[in-house]
Structure 1
């Protein structure tokens, strides 16, 4: 008899256990966009929602409906309502209800996609307790963006927002008038200056270095290029500044030698006693040379006058020319001007009576 009783109990327990397993379900419950998996033995949607601590308001959206039967692996979505204190362009504040989780979704629900939030970001979440949501309507604005002019009709809280909505957002280096934070007014004009600094790499010649050889037998104002060398190539990276796409300056910041340059060789005169002081009144002396000799400082026509300012041999010798060359036409421009300055100190501009006047020297 005892065996029969025990056997009967085991059958009942097995049946109850199998029944419990059969009615226990795992459901995905999504509340305001946040999904969670819950285990339940409830049979209706509303019972599952309330079992997990969520009360249902008549303004809420629940899918499937509350009295729909729940099945294993089912999905339940609850979007709870929340109040919005909404105003347009600072007027007509009213309270509305929305089940949207974000500002952007709320504007879409309210059929106000042609407006823009005045303070909140479009992606900001709408708290369950609600929020104030001032919005602005679309305005017509003329934009001069780095010289490109267009008219737009957009909703934006300020100049920066308008430019972003127009597909031309500001960077920190840009300048805009009115200020980026200025509110949008219908018919306003916005002037944008785009300031950019970017790196540009260009392949350019690499000048040869000059190797100097001092020559004590040659006058100090003279030099002879014995070997011009040959340039190489280099990749130079520049930091380039532009304003509205127009380059305003550049600075080399790095270079890589591609082909090395071959040094040039320059022979430099160091002969004692041939020092030449810095040229003063160079433009006047060039003008006199242009008048006297057609600007040719090495002229020798055989008429007894030599060089750019047409020295006769006696004048050249008396005023120290022989320390530079035996005749004026064999001296450099700077050497001839040095002797000409001595001549002017002794004789005045009258040594060149016609051409000094034409040159404006007197």
Structure 2
């Protein structure tokens, strides 16, 4: 029952009273002070409050259900509407909702509107530490892009006033792409290997060139082969890593095997 489309209650009640004149259970619309005089001994007086309309006093048979009263009065009710019975200032429920003298039947017009909207999803930023940049230097390697999320919500109105907003569904329809930033850092320290002469070793192995490549399959400052490079956590090809990264991996290798990976130049460490 929508309050905005329902005719005035007084009009509905006059029509209902005219059609029920011959019925023994007819309901009578009367002033509050005259209910007891106009109703039979078998009837009880109740107050009917429909949505935002003024309350009226009506008569009905004892122990009638509130829905029966509303139907007799020609008041439409749908599955969303709320029908409450108030007795002595308190709402009653269950079998106690059968009407008694002095009860208040209160109909709340409930309308539920389902709406959908689209929201931006924040792209965010991903920071990637790297030794390819000087410590503290930052480099954006990919710009971010926000995503899109569809939100479905139900808004509930009581007698035309909003009382509740409930989100029933959220779905990302376009994934966000985070901004990717490289952040320079120092190569990690390796206990027991930091005080050695890595510059001398690099000059001996590669002439100090981090991009040096030996046709036999050795790369970078310390002439790693790919298997050895990966065994100490390196990825890709050593010559693509910074000099600091290559030195860090060489220190890890030294911790594992000492000078043996560099049989000719290892004596310079």
Judge same fold: TM > 0.5, yes or no.
no
Q: Which structure would you say has the larger RCO, counting Cα contacts within 8 Å and 6 or more residues apart?
A: 2
**Higher gyration radius (CA):** 1
> Normalising by the residue count of structure 2, what TM-score does the alignment of the two structures yield?
0.36
TM-score scaled to structure 1, two decimals?
0.28
